[in-house]
Amino acid sequence: MTRSTLPSLTALSIFGSLTLVLSSCGSGGDGQDDGGSAPGDGGELTPIEVGVLPIVDNAAIYLGQEEGFFEDEGLDLTLTQAQGGAALLPAVVGGEMNFGFSNVTSLVIAESRGLDVEILAGGSGTTGDADEDFAAVVAPDGSDITEITDLEGASIAVNTLSNISDSTISEAVEQSGGDPSTLDYVEMPFPDMAGALSSGDVDAAAAVEPFQTLILDDGGRAIFSNYAYPVEDLTVATYFTSADYLDANPEVVDAFSRAMAESQRHADENPDAVREILPTYTDLDEGVIDQLTLSRYPAAVNRDSLQEINEISAKTGVIDEEIDLDELFSEHTITE
């Protein structure tokens, strides 16, 4: 597959600088715990800081904060928004935050490069329906691309090169009988994809909500969801911490995992509550919110799907070789 010249922010920059610019929302906290007591000991809540994004996928943790699930576990939760996922991995590994949110391919890449991270709980998951998911490869109105194999030779916009979007698309094209080496991936931010499709700068785009809905409302066509196919029941993103923080604060990590799992279950069972909380931390218009295809919010991580991501990442050159998946999991991980 072909990849266009990388701009300044690429998959490599995820693991570069540990100096970040972040905007905080919540009740403060220094991002560290002394590890000396269990959460809630002595009636005091333990402060934790979690890095999130202003996207639909993070609705569950906001609902959990609103419902008091973290307080119930003795935790004083601060949510710190980053504008892009590239900031969150180094922030957690560098000790600036206690926990973060990341797609699973980025975590596999991190582990392959010697960054010791630990997956704790599910974040977002595919609906399992390749025709109706919260992410899709979309083509503009009037395009000749109507099915997966039509992507051969196409230029496809992805938000980050050598990551979850291009690797799963390439695998889907190959599994459908096409030649992934003919694909030309172009890196650009999600908000720029609609304009690039309209102008003909790219033939297709790997869009997520709400950008998928905006493109479809403008006459675009969804070809397939690369989260629902080729990997079955894919856990797309998870909440994680660093091995250092886990080793120093195992009881805090367990409390966070329990509260996060409860938050995920609550969101998965209450889609109306998800839509209602979105305006509190995103700039989404209510009309768009009503049309969104929501992700699933799995409490547990589907380990089998991560192994497939591991294999696809190695096969497509995202990582040099498969990692030992056990390094991403511990007794603190909530798995199926």
**Closest C-alpha among 227, 215, 78, 243 to residue 163:** 227
> pLDDT for 124-148, tens place per residue?
999 999 999 999 999 999 999 999 9
Half-sphere exposure of 334 (CA within 13 A, CB side): 23
pLDDT in the model for residue 4: 46
- The pLDDT value given to residue 2: 53
Question: What percent of the chain lies above the pLDDT cut of 70?
Answer: 88
Q: Is 5 a residue whose pLDDT tops 50?
A: no
**43-95 tens-digit pLDDT:** 799 999 999 999 999 999 999 999 999 999 999 999 999 877 778 999 999 99
For residues 93-107, average pLDDT: 96
What is the predicted pLDDT for the residue at 94? 95
Asked if 100 and 50 touch (Cβ cutoff 8 Å), the reply is yes
Quote the CA–CA distance of 70 and 64 in Å, as a whole number: 7
Rounded distance, CA 90 to CA 73, Å?
26
CA dist 225 and 26 (Å) reads 34
CA–CA gap between residue 87 and residue 50 (Å, rounded): 12
Question: Which CATH superfamily includes the segment(s) 135-224?
Answer: Periplasmic binding protein-like II (3.40.190.10)
What is the overall mean pLDDT for the chain? 90
Which segment of 20-24, 201-205, 262-266, 279-283 scores lowest on mean pLDDT? 20-24
Helix, strand, coil % in the chain, rounded to nearest 5: 40, 20, 40
CA nearest to 255, candidates 121, 124, 125, 118: 121
Q: What is the pLDDT of residue 6?
A: 33
Tokens of 192: 């720029």
CB neighbours of 171 closer than 8 A, spacing ≥ 6?
Answer: 180, 230, 312, 315, 316
CB atoms within 10 A of CB 235: 28
For residue 252, pLDDT over 70 is answered with: yes
- More confidently predicted of 198 and 27: 198
**Does residue 116 carry a pLDDT above 90?**
yes
Burial of 254 (0-12, 13-18, 19+ CB in 10 A): middle
Question: Residue 38 burial by CB count (10 A; 0-12/13-18/19+): exposed, middle or buried?
Answer: middle
pLDDT for residue 1: 57
Per-residue pLDDT, averaged over 318-330, amounts to: 96
pLDDT tens figures, 219-240: 999 999 999 999 999 999 999 9
91 CB neighbour count, 10 Å cutoff: 24
Whether pLDDT at 22 is above 50: no
Predicted structure pTM score: 0.88
> pLDDT tens, 169-198?
999 999 999 999 999 999 999 999 999 999
How do strand 135-139 and strand 221-224 relate by DSSP bridges? antiparallel
User: Going by C-beta distance under 8 Å and a sequence separation of 6 or more, which residues neighbour residue 179?
Assistant: 152, 173
Q: For the segment 290-307, what is each residue's pLDDT rounded down to a tens digit?
A: 999 999 999 999 999 999
CATH 3.90.1300.10 fits 12-126+233-328, yes or no: no
Where along the chain do the CATH 3.40.190.10 domains lie? Answer: 12-126+233-328, 135-224
Comparing CA positions, the residue from 295, 299, 297, 319 lying closest to residue 309 is: 319
Structure confidence at residue 251 (pLDDT): 97
